[in-house]
Amino acid sequence: MTPGPGPFAAPPGPSGAPRQPGLLHVRFRTADGIPVSAGCYEQLLGLLGQFTPVVEALPPDAALADVRGALRYFDRDAAGIAELVRLRALAWHGVRCTIGIGGNPLLARLAAQGAAPGEIRTVPDDAGTVTAFLDRRPASALHGVGPATARALCAYGLDSIGRIAAAPPATLQRILGARTGRIVYERARGIDPTPVTPNAAARSMGAEHRFVHDELDPARRRRALLSLADDLGARMRASGQAARALTLTVRYADRSTTTRTRRLDAPTAHGPALTEAAYALHAALGLQRARVRSVALRAEDLCRAERAARQLTFDPSDDKAHRIEAAVDRARARFGAASVRPAATLGGAAGTTGTAGAARTPPPPGAKPRGPGADRP
């Protein structure tokens, strides 16, 4: 079985020439290399909309665009349109775009992952090139293959996409299950029928903080979590969404990761509630002497905010916290996202690669200082 054209394949080119792909995966970064703000992100989505109405937002800093219908209008191939997007984003917004071009979302995403900031990379839509492009990449590079699935595949020697593609489909289905095995087999061969859905509501929303140096201090990690939770809450409230679950991902100095998810008592975008859940997830990991490279929070299972019921209480401080949060949102909408922050996050912006600034928050009451070390439990 060889990769078929799929729903995103461009029309065949001249005899013997590879088909030209027409799907762009665009990642936005400022000139300083940090993610764009929520307001700038909306403007950049509008920029993509000047070329095609088929644009799917991938918050906080990426988007998919199907430009096949615009090739003839602009008298350019997909790479030519990508160059226009790159130049206009830099000239109008001061944003550097990393753009991957492929025949389907999987190939476009992988092309963008391997590109340098400001670079445009294209994967021609022919079977030989796609096979060579995917062959030596690790199994975890496939979209949808998480750490647990990658470990299951590596246990059977299927540690690269090329080896997965060469394995019999029945073998993958026995290892991963019928549905997951079929999907992984198809994606290992460059097949991804996932459509680009314009204006699709985000199913999740995330932010990450990378420390300048491997972080041993749990207080500094809690400060980062405070900043990330505050950022996620503000973005969800601005988009009229609420989260039903929160996921914490911790990456260590040895590049291993730990991921934990907690279901929330009720859908919420309230910053203190998200911060409390993030602190609980972090405390449950019991990281005593861990060297942490980065922490990331992801709001999962998003729903519309009007579907989130708020439990009324007799505690006046709860109502006061919501009124303060509404006032902060109005101030940020008028003066910018950085105009108001939790006090514990001020003065620590270095090392942030997510949409949230670096965070600094005090340790929990009664916490005992821990000595430095290189081990993690």
**66-95, pLDDT tens digit by residue?**
999 999 999 999 999 999 999 999 999 989
pLDDT the model gives residue 349: 36
* Residue 326, φ and ψ in degrees, nearest 5: -65, -40
Cβ-contact 310, 212 below 8 angstroms: no
Which stretch of 43-47, 144-148, 268-272 has the lowest confidence by average pLDDT? 144-148
Under the banding of pLDDT at 50, 70 and 90, the label for residue 48 is very high
The predicted structure's pLDDT at residue 16: 46
275-309 residue pLDDT tens: 999 999 999 998 888 899 999 999 988 888 776 66
| Contact between residue 232 and residue 207 where contact means Cβ atoms under 8 Å apart | yes
Report which of residues 10 and 196 the model is more confident about. 196
H/E segment holding residue 45: helix 38-49
Burial class (CB in 10 A: 0-12, 13-18, 19+), 1: exposed
Give the number of other CB atoms < 10 A from CB of residue 350.
9
Which residues on adjacent β-strands are paired with residue 138? 160
pLDDT above 90 coverage of the chain, percent: 40
Q: How far apart are CA 278 and CA 283, in angstroms?
A: 9
Residue given tokens 């590049």 in the structure block: 255
> How high is the pLDDT of residue 278?
94
Greatest mean pLDDT among 22-36, 137-151, 173-187, 340-354: 173-187
Going by pLDDT thresholds of 50, 70 and 90, the confidence category of residue 345 is low
Please determine, for residue 106, whether its predicted confidence score (pLDDT) is greater than 90: yes
Burial letters 285-312, b for 16+ CB under 10 A, else e: bebeebbbbbbbbbbbbbeeeeebeeee
Say what the pLDDT of residue 10 is.
42
How does residue 117 score in pLDDT terms, banded at 50, 70 and 90? confident
* pLDDT at residue 343 greater than cutoff 70: no
Compute the distance between CA of residue 369 and CA of residue 330 in angstroms, rounded to an integer.
Answer: 39
Q: Edge-to-edge strands of the sheet including 95-102?
A: 55-58, 62-66, 23-30, 95-102, 120-122
| Number of neighbouring beta carbons within 10 Å of residue 246 | 26
Residue pLDDT, tens place only, 353-375 = 333 333 333 444 444 444 434 44
- In tens, the pLDDT along 216-271 reads 999 999 999 999 998 898 888 888 888 889 999 999 998 788 889 898 888 888 88
Main-chain dihedrals φ then ψ at residue 366, nearest 5 degrees:
85, 0
- Quick: pLDDT tens for 172-187: 999 999 999 999 999 9
Peptide bond into 5 cis (omega under 30): no
Q: What is the pLDDT of residue 33?
A: 67
Q: What share of the chain is helix, strand, coil (3-state, %, to 5)?
A: 40, 20, 40
